[in-house]
A and B are shown apart, each in its own frame.
Chain A
Amino acid sequence: MTNNNLNKLLVFCVLFCAQKTSIVHGAQALETKVALLLHAEPENPKCFAEGMSDLTCFWEEDEERAGSADQYSFIYTYQNENSSECSVTALPAAGGKRLYFCRLSQTQLFVPLDIRVFRDDLLIHNRSLFIEVVFLLDPPANLTLTSTGMQGQLKASWLPPSLKYMGDSMMYEVSYAMAGSHIGKVEAVQASSELILRGLQSGTKYKVRIRVKLDGISYSGYWSAWTDPVLMETMPGDLDPLIVSLSLIISLVLTLLSLLVLMSHRRFLLKKIWPIIPTPESKFQGLFKVYGGDFQEWLGHSTGGLWLRPTYFYSEEFPAPLEVLSEVSLGPVLPSSALPPKASEALGEEEDEDKKLKRVDPALMEGWRETPQEHWLMDQLRAIHKHPAPWTQSSLLESHDAYVTLNAQNHSVEEPLDDILEETLPLQVLFASGRTSSESRSDLGSVQQSSGSGRLSSQSSFEYPNHTWPSKGPGYTYMAVADSGVSMDYSPMSSNKIDDIGKGVIYTNEYKNEIPAHRRPIGTPIHFAF
């Protein structure tokens, strides 16, 4: 029993609440429509039909002049029919106004309706209308926005007003704008319950609303109120193919340009990124490639190699061959004392014709200084230079020349180069004439015994271009002198450039020495000057 009562009470409450809600909603709708008609309809009373069988008319009066509802009479008459009266109700309105309403629940369409309003038997309003042309519908319900799956589109769908016979006579206006913007577009559609909005921006939120009106052919009326706006965001935009293609082209062009720049500066970049480790390979030709870094072996073969060395490897010193060949006949043998006794290099005769490069101790070179005797020798040499005689082996052998000979030390054992570089290589200049003996040349640095007589001849190398020193033959010993200012190289047949220590005159001479045995001054130092 109690449960039953509770159930009833619950149902009553629900119905009451629903009715109250609907009443409230209806009141709000009525208030909206009244506001619309007050703006849209100039005639009085203002009437509108919401459905197929109803008609609501109202008029407005100032509060001051307004009377009670009983004072008003609403008389309506259909064509060819008797008049009828509608009961009037009054409602307060904003702005000190009062509204008087009359509502008909059964109407006839497509026939003229005549309305007259009286207040205290005084006609205040008179109007004739057709009810089917004063429809004011409720806004469409359930406005929904969905995505069509395509860019820049939204699909709006709604529920048409449920009016029988009038579905195909309804027209709609859809208003859409970007959220937050007041500028929008309106599209009209007729006799439909959905519309696809096109041309929208991608990834943008839009607000859409709709209103309805009868098309005016059979039925007509006023535009309904707008629905509450519905928001929805469109699909995010894909990359424009044009933009994508342009971006690809630009990136490709930039890549090609950067590659071109890199290729044009690759050497510079390689140097910076991967600097070349300097190696002494250029200075010691063949030392690493041929001899595997064996410096001793490289030295041993370097003399022969020097003959074949390309000239461009030598950027600094080009030892020009020095051949001292004097054509002056000195007659008496110049005493060895004419020459300042000074330690110099000795040159021994070789037993073989092998040519070896030897270096002379730089300290030895420092001891060479110009002396008056040297001036005489220089003169002799210059005279030779001025009148260089074509050198031939036979001429040398036969001419009465002054020769520069090199002493050879009586060493039977070939000492290593290091020992020879010490001040143990005196240089002796001997002037001999008529000596025709030719001995095998002796290596400068060699300590081999020079058994035969040796002659030292000099010849200016100006007759010969550098590096084209002709082969002199097996009977002569050649010594090339290279003076870099710091050290002096003595090497046979090397194109050394000889600097004049004292005078700065640079000339090259080739030495060919042939030390006569009887003339071999042993131990006598000779000062040789250029």
Chain B
Amino acid sequence: MGPVVVLLTVLQWAGRGLPSPVRPICDPRVLDRFIMEARDTETALRGCKAGCGVTGTFVVPLTNVDFVVWETKDTEQQALEVQSGMSLFGQALGAVRESVSRVAVQILIDNNKSNIHSLGQVLRSLHIQDLPLPPAPAVGDLVTRKVSSLSELLHVHTNFLRGKVRLLLTNAPACQQNST
């Protein structure tokens, strides 16, 4: 009994630094659900008066995808764009959550934040490591832009998920092995 306990302890310590092996989440329906919920949030808050009380500007990633250009990038570059963009959206939605007072709006914002966190887990399941984020983007950066309303923020958020994030997940090497 004693040696077994020692062995288990050693194994657990050895595996502590490594992420627990997670089965790759390659089902596109997972991301599709995040996309639909983001779209529903965008639709629900489009008619919000006075921007639902949200003021200020938010830095958001660019969402345009040129397939020709995209395919020239490797998975790591693609992952970096996705992760940095997700980070920006996380920050922006956090700031929005602070400024809204309506409970209904708060619930929707919280749902989107949760989805962003879950999306991070999905990326990790595809063996896409957390990469060190680039420094805070400056104005005029070619990879970011600013928005000044909640509706535009949510719209960009939806486009980002539909485009770059989905392309990355669909063509992840881990999922390509399962499909072939």
Taking Cβ atoms with an 8 Å cutoff, the residues of A that contact B are: 52-53, 78-80, 106-111, 130, 132, 164-165, 168-169, 217-218
Contacts and interface: CB of A to CB of B under 8 A. Distances in A.
Given A79-B64, A80-B62, A218-B32, A110 B159 contact: yes
7 contacts: A78-B64, A109-B65, A110-B163, A111-B62, A111-B65, A165-B166, A168-B170
B68 A106 contact: yes
Contact of A165 (B66, B159, B160, B170): B170
Given A80-B145, A132-B162, A109 B67 contact: yes
A165 B64 contact: no
Given A80-B62, A111-B159, A218 B166 contact: yes
A132 B28 CA distance: 17
Nearest to B170: A165
B162 A106 contact: no
Given A165-B166, A217-B36, 20 more contacts: A52-B67, A53-B68, A79-B64, A80-B62, A108-B64, A108-B65, A109-B65, A109-B67, A110-B64, A110-B162, A110-B163, A110-B164, A111-B64, A132-B163, A164-B67, A168-B28, A168-B170, A169-B28, A218-B32, A218-B162
A53 B166 contact: no
Interface string B24-49: 00001000100110000000000000
A207 B124 CA distance: 48
SS class, residues of chain B in contact with chain A: helix
Contacts of B170: 165, 168
Contact of A217 (B35, B64, B159): B35
Interface string B54-71: 000000001111111000
A110 B163 CA distance: 6
A165 B171 contact: yes
Classify chain B's interface size. Answer: 20 to 34
Given A110-B163, A218-B32, A218-B162, A53 B63 contact: no
Contacts, number: 54
A328 B127 CA distance: 154
Nearest to B162: A218
B116 interface: no
B36 A109 contact: no
Nearest to B71: A164
B174 to A, nearest CB: 16
A106 B64 CA distance: 12
B60 to A, nearest CB: 11
Query: Which of A53, A79, A108, A169 has the most chain B CB atoms inside 10 A of its CB?
Result: A108
Nearest to B33: A217
Interface in B150-180: 159-160, 162-164, 166-167, 170-171
Contacts of B36: 217
B20 to A, nearest CB: 28
A218 B35 contact: yes
A214 to B, nearest CB: 12
Contacts of A108: 64-66
A110 B160 contact: yes
A106 B167 CA distance: 18
Contacts of B166: 165, 218
Contacts of B162: 110, 132, 217-218
Nearest to B158: A110
B17 to A, nearest CB: 35
A78 B66 CA distance: 12
A130 B162 CA distance: 12
Contacts of A164: 67
A169 B32 CA distance: 10
A521 B167 CA distance: 155
Contact of B66 (A107, A130, A132, A217): A107
Query: Which of B62, B64, B170, B171 has the most chain A CB atoms inside 10 A of its CB?
Result: B64
B167 A165 contact: yes
Interface in B53-102: 62-68
A106 B35 CA distance: 25
List 5 tightest A-B contacts by C-beta distance, closest first.
A110-B163, A111-B64, A108-B64, A218-B162, A52-B67
B145 to A, nearest CB: 6
B142 to A, nearest CB: 9
A110 B65 contact: yes
A244 B124 CA distance: 63
Contacts of B164: 110
Interface in B85-130: none
A168 B175 CA distance: 13
Contacts of A110: 63-65, 159-160, 162-164
Contacts of B64: 78-79, 108-111
Contacts of B163: 109-111, 132, 218
Nearest to A109: B65
Query: Which of A109, A165, A168 has the most chain B CB atoms inside 10 A of its CB?
Result: A109
Nearest to B31: A218
